[in-house]
Amino acid sequence: MYADLCATFDLIAATTKRLEITSLLATFLHTVITAHPADLLSAVYLCINRLCPEYEGLELGIGESILMKAIGEATGRTLQKIKADMAEVGDLGEVAMASRGSQKTMFQPKPLEVGKVFKVLKEIATISGGSSQKVKVDKIKGLMVSCRGNEAKYLVRSLEGKLRIGLAERTVLVSLSHAFFRARTSTSRKPTDDALKRAEDIVKGVYMELPSYDQIVPALLEYPIDELPNRCHLTPGIPLKPMLAHPTKAISEVLDRFEGKLFTCEYKYDGERAQMHLLDDGKRCIFSRNSENLSAKYPDVLARLDKMCAEDTKSFVLDCEAVAWDTEKQCILPFQVLSTRKRKDVKEENITVQVCIFAFDLLYLNGESLLRHTLQDRRALLHAHFVPVPGQFAFAKSMESNNLDDIQVFLDESIQGNCEGLMVKTLVDESSYEPSRRSRNWLKVKKDYLDGVGDSLDLVVIGGYIGKGKRTGVYGGYLLACYDPEAEEYQAICKIGTGFSEEALTTLAESLKPHLIDQPKSYYRLGDAKADVWFDAVQVWEVKTADLSISPVYQAAVGLVDSSKGISLRFPRFIRVRDDKSPEDATTGEQVADMYNRQQINSAAGGGGGGDD
Ligand code: ATP
């Protein structure tokens, strides 16, 4: 029943204790497994606020104006009143619940079912065309009139695309494994922590390889948990979340970390991550870092796939970087060139920016997952089963040495070759591919680490400042935020006004125009930060900074370094828009705190840093 799910959401929202949240949700999911198994998939999707696997790209995020209209019409209140309540309360979910609660109804509506609510949400997300707004409003109204108690609150928040109860996806995954463990073991025995942890590891491990509840939930309903890895595993056609790297400040840090281990250095190409898949039936696709299907952007790359494969290569998943390529000079072009390539419906005959694919890992080959093989093995298979095609497909350039000077020369060469620096990876021990992890077995060394704070940050634009003087007519600066996935909130981190070309100022202002909102979202944690206008959290920018400092104004990473103060950036500079990152992939508060702490260690060891906002 939807009411039970919403009651569980309320209980979860009332606590911050992870174990308690896990147990509350596991209890609810256990009831669904035993009493309404057909609703389980819908229940899981409602908990993680998604409609389908990420790579299918269907999203809710219904605009505020449509929601207000639907709430007004469903509860018999004027739009004006809804707007006034919203201005006061700041949360449309609460406004919907209060509006519905104060409404006099003649008949008690039929209770809402989880499966029905989910089905209608999915229908709403797929509606398009001329009268789509009216159809959406009608469908939302249809659900709203059946809402009781707190249901309207969560319905509206689901429609907005944010539940804001502090329920992270990995907690849902753990709760799901606990619920199944309970459902599959005799009730008289209390599970040991070890047994629970084992179930948890199995479900989490499988999800990392095959991030699709559409496959995992039915398999869990049908088979014992132990059987899950045999039923669900890495499958070409379904993108796995890529492995990510840890930033380092200098080559000497790499040598310290990897002491006594075999490791390899590769060029860090500066383009776009491209996960290439070939299925047994010949179907082929490319996915972004974010699991977005890029096949329509790279028809030319898909067409060259046969040339890249050795004769016995029938199916694979390759991890690569797509890089802009100068066909005349036969060399790599900077990322800025790649960013001018059209993203959709690219026709091979009209391509202006050619790309070369640099493959650095092979994750699946001819029916077998290679994730647990060593990098040395994976690389050997990559070289044996693929064929370089000049200017179109190449293996990432690599070098093995533990001599600091050799690595420095290789780093310099990579930068001269228009790369970003190096990726340094364990080659044998602890070198399995770790999907979705920012692993310590992959370290990145960028050219500008040596003079900056380390890595750049990827931040979300949430506010703007009206431009004056030369910047009249565009925004003079912007307010940026990092993301806290646990609290599901954007935490203001700094104002930014440098690094923009005049052209960028115009295009950025244009691209943000459709995302202007009347007031900051309730899930923006602003502290004392202010802005002239507010934006919906949609755009991610890469930003560099001189250093990070504790700030009484900003709230980024609050509670991690200081109990009430956040962290801010000094002299932030705009680098580029990160189209390949969604706002929820932005730099997290935890990463900001980590950067701050490392800066403190480095400055204690001799070097700049520090300062107040
Ligand atoms: P950024 O790209 O800004 O460094 P990120 O968060 O997208 O950050 P990181 O893990 O920090 O990802 O850096 C790894 C990225 O570098 C990969 O996502 C990939 O796109 C790119 N890359 C380029 N060359 C390589 C390589 N040889 N091995 C692995 N990744 C590479």
Whole-number pLDDT of residue 607: 46
Sign of CA dihedral 294, 272, 245, 492: negative
Residues 6 or more apart from 601 whose CB is under 8 A from it? Answer: none
Q: At 143, list the tokens.
A: 């659900």
Q: Which of 39-48, 54-63, 316-325, 366-375 has the lowest mean pLDDT?
A: 54-63
pTM for the full model?
A: 0.82
- Decide if pLDDT at 104 tops 80: no
- Separation of first and last alpha carbons in the chain: 50
Residue 586 Cα to ligand 1 middle (Å): 14
Residue 503 Cα to ligand 1 middle (Å): 27
- Decide if pLDDT at 184 tops 80: yes
Residue 347 pLDDT grade (very low, low, confident, very high; cuts 50, 70, 90)? confident
Residue 264 Cα to ligand 1 middle (Å): 15
Residue 248 Cα to ligand 1 middle (Å): 13
Contact in structure between 425 and 263 (CB atoms under 8 Å): yes
Q: List the residue whose alpha carbon is closest to atom 2 of ligand 1.
A: 270
Residue 441 pLDDT grade (very low, low, confident, very high; cuts 50, 70, 90)? very high
Higher pLDDT, 611 or 400: 400
Whole-number pLDDT of residue 225: 94
Q: Which residues are catalytic?
A: 268
Using DSSP's 3-state secondary structure scheme, residue 513 falls into helix
- Decide if pLDDT at 357 tops 80: yes
Residue 506 pLDDT grade (very low, low, confident, very high; cuts 50, 70, 90)? very high
Atom of ligand 1 nearest to the CA of 266: 27
Q: At 365, list the tokens.
A: 């080959």
- Decide if pLDDT at 449 tops 70: no
Residue 608 pLDDT grade (very low, low, confident, very high; cuts 50, 70, 90)? very low
Q: Is 451 exposed, middle or buried (0-12, 13-18, 19+ CB in 10 A)?
A: exposed
Which among 179, 229, 236 is positioned nearest to 204, based on CA atoms?
229
DSSP state of 397: P
- Decide if pLDDT at 609 tops 70: no
Residue 283 Cα to ligand 1 middle (Å): 26
Half-sphere exposure of 226 (CA within 13 A, CB side): 3
Residue 34 Cα to ligand 1 middle (Å): 43
Average pLDDT over the chain, rounded to whole? 91
Q: What are phi and psi of 606, to 5 degrees?
A: 110, 105
Ligand 1 contacts CB of residue 321 (under 6 A) = yes
Using DSSP's 3-state secondary structure scheme, residue 452 falls into coil
Residue type, 261: K
d(C-alpha 360, C-alpha 295), whole Å: 20
| HEC readout, 219-281 | HHHHCCHHHHHHHCCCCCCCCCCCCEEEECCCHHHHHHHCCCCCEEEEEECCCEEEEEEECCC
Atom of ligand 1 nearest to the CA of 247: 11
Contact in structure between 609 and 558 (CB atoms under 8 Å): no
Which of 340-349, 514-523, 556-565: highest mean pLDDT?
A: 556-565
- Decide if pLDDT at 606 tops 60: no
Residue 215 pLDDT grade (very low, low, confident, very high; cuts 50, 70, 90)? very high
Q: List the residue whose alpha carbon is closest to atom 25 of ligand 1.
A: 268
Whole-number pLDDT of residue 611: 35
CA distances from 336 to 261, 273, 449 (A): 36, 15, 20
- Decide if pLDDT at 453 tops 80: no
Ligand 1 contacts CB of residue 273 (under 6 A) = yes
Atom of ligand 1 nearest to the CA of 396: 27
Ligand 1 contacts CB of residue 228 (under 6 A) = no
Whole-number pLDDT of residue 454: 59
Residues 6 or more apart from 575 whose CB is under 8 A from it? Answer: 456, 499, 541, 542, 543, 544
How would DSSP label each residue in 10-67? HHHHT---HHHHHHHHHHHHHHHHHH-GGGHHHHHHHHHT-SS-GGG-------HHHH
Residue 385 pLDDT grade (very low, low, confident, very high; cuts 50, 70, 90)? very high
pLDDT in tens, 515-537: 998 889 888 999 999 999 999 99
DSSP state of 556: B
| Ligand 1, pocket-test mutation among 267, 423, 575, most atoms within 8 A of CB | 423
Atom of ligand 1 nearest to the CA of 361: 28
Ligand 1 contacts CB of residue 316 (under 6 A) = no
Ligand 1 contacts CB of residue 270 (under 6 A) = no
Ligand 1 contacts CB of residue 269 (under 6 A) = yes
Tokens 């790209």 sit at which residue? Answer: 57
Residue 500 pLDDT grade (very low, low, confident, very high; cuts 50, 70, 90)? very high
Residue 604 pLDDT grade (very low, low, confident, very high; cuts 50, 70, 90)? low
Residue type, 566: G
Query: 419: part of which helix (H) or strand (E)?
Result: none
Half-sphere exposure of 598 (CA within 13 A, CB side): 17
pLDDT in tens, 117-163: 999 999 999 988 778 888 889 999 899 888 888 999 999 999 988 88
Contact in structure between 159 and 124 (CB atoms under 8 Å): yes
Which among 534, 524, 528, 464 is positioned nearest to 91, based on CA atoms?
524
Vertex 444 angle, CA 593 and 446, to 5°: 95
Atom of ligand 1 nearest to the CA of 243: 10
Ligand 1 contacts CB of residue 521 (under 6 A) = no
Q: Which ipTM was obtained for this model?
A: 0.95
Whole-number pLDDT of residue 89: 84
Ligand 1 contacts CB of residue 245 (under 6 A) = yes
- Decide if pLDDT at 302 tops 60: yes
